[in-house]
Amino acid sequence: MNLVVNGDAEAGPGGSADPVASVPGWRIAQGAPALIAYSLGGGYPTPADPGPGQRGSRFFSGGNSPRTALVQDVALPARGTTGPRAVDAGRVRYALSGWLGGYATQEDGARLSVEFRAADSTPLALSVLGPVSSAERLGRTALVECRAEAAVPPGARSARVLLVFTRSGGGTSNDGYADALSLTLHATGGQS
């Protein structure tokens, strides 16, 4: 099960390149994102550009701010094979994935990270994806799949997902793009 709420940018206001004031599931910590329709055109990613196979209708972008940051605090399962007992026994792993990209040869970018935290919020594990450079996109407008996987450390009780869009140089539009963000847990046989 994907623990990220609205990781596909499908919920809430949006559709144009205009920044929105709120995004369901996310706290806007800095700037303001735009949730842009793939059908918008105007140089933004289209259904034909490289990106998620099942991409829905919209993707995240950085809006008009030089730096836009979205935060989502994720409660870990309270019970079951990925609950706290399994976590503390070292029997749970996580996978973080997302499609991250930007515009043509520009170096605006999107970064996705997850921090697993102890009960007192001290960081215990960290995975960082992106930002994807224009070279990694072969100089074209695209979203590229990024993925990391690791053990959930014993003692972890929550996860904080951070999505940051950064604009390079001048201009107005923050053309870091992101879509299909996912954080999943799965049980393993024992301490890895």
Partner 1 sequence: MNRRDLLKAAAAAGALNLAWPLAVGLTPAQAREAAEALGADYDPAPFTLGVASGDPQPHSVLLWTRLAPEPLAAEQQLPEIVEVQWTVAEDPRLSRVVARGTTSASATLGHSVHVAVDGLRPGRHYWYAFRALGKTSRTGRTKTAPTGRIGKAVFATANCQAFHDGYYAAHRGIARENLDFVIHLGDYIYEHGQVGGVPESHVRDHDGPEILTLGDYRKRHALYKGDRSLREAHAAHPWFLTWDDHEVVNDYSGTGGGAPFMKRRAAAYQAWYEHMPHRDSFGSMALPDPEIHRVRSWGELLELTVLDLRSYRSAQNLPDGTILGEDQKAWLKQGIDQAPDAWHVWANSIMLSQLRGRPGGSYMFTDQWDGFLAERKEVLGHVHASGLEDLVVLTGDWHSAFVDDIQVDFDQPESPLVGTEFTAHSVTSGAYSADWNAANGPLMGKANPHLKYFEGNRYGYDVYEVTPERFSTHMRVIGDRRDPLSPVSTLTTFHVDRGKTGSYEDPGTKGSPAQYRRD
Contact footprint for partner 1 (CB under 8 A): 29-30, 66-67, 69, 71, 90, 102, 106-109, 111, 113, 115, 117-118, 120-128, 130-134, 150-151, 153-156, 160, 162, 164, 166-169, 191-192
- Judged by beta carbon, residue 37 or residue 163, the one nearer partner 1 is 163
Select 57 or 158, whichever has its Cβ closest to partner 1. 158
Which of 66, 75, 81, 74 is closest to 33 using CA atoms? 66
Minimum gap (Å) between residue 18 Cβ and partner 1: 21
Distance CA 141, CA 15 (A): 19
Q: Which residues of 41-71 are buried (b: 16+ CB within 10 A; e: fewer)?
A: eeebbeeebebeeebeebbbbbbbbbebbbe
Cβ distance to partner 1 smaller for residue 20 or 160? 160
Q: Shortest approach of partner 1 to residue 126 CB, angstroms?
A: 5
With respect to partner 1, which residue has the nearer C-beta, 49 or 88?
88
Task: Provide the 10 A C-beta neighbour count for residue 160.
Answer: 16
- The CB-of-54 to partner 1 minimum distance in angstroms stands at 25
The residue (of 10 and 49) whose beta carbon lies closer to partner 1 is 49
Phi, psi (rounded to 5 degrees) for 79? -155, 180
**Radius of gyration of the chain, Cα coordinates, nearest whole angstrom:** 17
* Nearest distance in Å: CB 27, partner 1: 8
Helix segments in the chain, DSSP class H: 84-88
CB 65 within 8 A of CB 148: no
CB of 167 to partner 1, least distance (A): 7
